[in-house]
Amino acid sequence: MGTVFRNFAGLAIFISCLGIFGLAAFTAEQRTKEIGVRKVLGASTAGIISLLSREFLLLVTVANVIAWPSGYFLTNRLLRNYAYRTDIPIWIFLGAGILAYLIALLTVGYQAFKAARTEPVHALRYE
C-alpha cells in the first residue's frame, strides 16, 4: 500500500512539474520583449531569473499558507478517531514547503535561465 501511494505521489509531483514548466515557458514567451529590453539596458542573468521566478515563488507561498493549516486540522481530525494517536510534528510541513519551493525553483529556474540566455536582438527584431 505504501509503494502504491509513493508511486502516485511521485506521479502527481511530476504532473505538477509539467504544469509549472508549461506556465513558466508561456510566461517567458509572453515577456520576451521585456527580457530583451532589460538585457540591452544591462540586466544580469541572475536579475532576469529572479524577476521571472519571483511570481512563481509567491504562488508557492500562497499555496503553502493555505495548505499547512488545512492539512494540520484535517490530519488531526482523522487521527482523533484512533486509540493510539500520534502528534504531527511541524518539520513535516516545513519539509513539504521546502520541497515545494525547490521543485518550483528548479522547474521555473531552468525556463528562466533559458530565456535569460537568449540574444536580445532576436527578441526585439520580431516584435
List pLDDT tens digits, range 94-108.
Answer: 998 999 899 889 888
The crossing angle, in degrees rounded to 10, of helices 32-40 and 45-79 is 130
Question: Which of 30, 13, 11 is CA-nearest to residue 111?
Answer: 30
Residue 46 to residue 35: CA distance in whole angstroms:
12
Any residues with CB less than 8 A from the CB of 62 and at least 6 apart, and which?
A: none
Question: Which of 72, 61, 44 is CA-nearest to residue 101?
Answer: 61
**45 is in which domain, residue-wise?**
2-125
Q: Provide the domain count of the chain.
A: 1
Any residues with CB less than 8 A from the CB of 67 and at least 6 apart, and which?
A: 96
12 near 99, Cβ under 8 Å?
A: no
Its pTM stands at: 0.77
Segment 44-81, tens digit of pLDDT: 888 888 888 888 889 899 999 999 999 999 988 888 88
What residue type is assigned to position 29 of the chain?
A: E
